[in-house]
Amino acid sequence: MLLKLDNISFKYPNAETHVFEGLSHHIDEPGFHALFGPSGVGKTSFAKILCNEIKAFTGQIHTEDIETILYSYNLERLPGWSNVGDHIAKITPPSHVEKSEVLVECFGIEKCLNRRFAELSLGQQNRVNLLRYLLQDFNVLIMDESLANVDELTREKIILKVKEMFPDIIFLYISHNIVEVSKFCRQILVFRSIPKNPQTLLVKGQDLAMGQTLTKKDHELTMLEIMNAS
C-alpha cells in the first residue's frame, strides 16, 4: 500500500501566490496519519487534490493497492426527506450491515436514528456523517475535522474503535487538536505557513491503539516537537 505525492504545487485561479509549492510526502502503511497546521496553510486543498476534487495542480500522485479515496468533512448534511436511520440503511451495502450496528453503538447515535438530521446537535451530526463514510468500501479516508464538536471521551472511543475495526485503511486525519493528533496518529505532517521553509515537516506520533497506555512524558515530547515544527 502506497500513497506518494511528488513535487505537488497548487495555487487558486487568478491568485498570485501558491498555497503550497513543491510538496512531497509518502505514506506506505495503514493507520492514522495527521495533517496538522494553522488555518489557511492548505490542508483541505491538499486533501481535495488527493481525492481528485481539485485537478488544477502540478506534480504527481502515485498510488499502489489503493482504489478508493474518500473525503469527509464536518459541514456535510444528510438530505431532509428521510431520517438518519433510513438514510444509513439505504447507503449501507448489505455486506456492511453488521459493521453498521457495531459502529452505531460505539458512536452513541442509536437515539438519532429516528430523527431528522437537522434536529441533531453538531457533534451528533458529525458522528452520523463519519459513520456513513465508514460503511463504504474504501482504502483511504480523509477526515477533515470530522469529529469536531464531539466530546473528548467519545472522540477517543471512536478513534480507537475505528483503528481496531479498520486495520488496513489509511486515515488522513485533519485536525487542529495537537493533543489528539500527537496521541493517536502514526505520523503528523505539519503544514507551515509561507514563507517558512521547508513548507512541511514530518513528526512521529504516539499512535495509541486499543488496550495500550501512553506515558505522559512521551506524549508531551511529541506535542513539543509538533509545536516546534509548526
Partner 1 sequence: MLHRRLYQFLIIYSLGLSGLFLIKYTLNLSNYVIPGPANLWATCREVWLRYFFDTGDTLAVAIIGHITSTCLAIFVGIVGRQATWVGSFVKVAAYNVQAYPIVALAPIIFILLGDGFISRLLIAAMICYFPILLSVLGIMAEPVVDIEHFYRITGRMRWQLEIKIRAFENMNKLITVIAGSATLAMAGTIVAEFIAANAGIGYSIRIALYQSDLSKILIALFLIGLSLSVYQGLLEFSGYLAKKKWEVPKGGIV
Name the residues that contact partner 1, by CB under 8 A.
Answer: 51, 53, 70-73, 75-83, 86, 91, 114-116, 119, 129, 132-133, 136
For residues 100 and 88, the answer to whether their CB atoms sit within 8 Å is yes
Measured from the CB of residue 107, what is the shortest distance to partner 1 in angstroms? 17
- Number of neighbouring beta carbons within 10 Å of residue 56: 9
CB closer to partner 1, 142 vs 208: 142
Measured from the CB of residue 225, what is the shortest distance to partner 1 in angstroms? 33
CB closer to partner 1, 51 vs 165: 51
- Number of neighbouring beta carbons within 10 Å of residue 220: 12
Asked whether the bond before 195 is cis by omega within 30 degrees of 0, the reply is yes
Measured from the CB of residue 138, what is the shortest distance to partner 1 in angstroms? 8
Side chain identity at residue 180, one-letter code: E
Measured from the CB of residue 169, what is the shortest distance to partner 1 in angstroms? 15
Q: Which of 172, 166, 160 is nearest to 96 (CA)?
A: 166
CB closer to partner 1, 75 vs 102: 75
Cα dihedral 178→180→183→189 (10° resolution): -50
Side chain identity at residue 190, one-letter code: V
CB closer to partner 1, 125 vs 230: 125
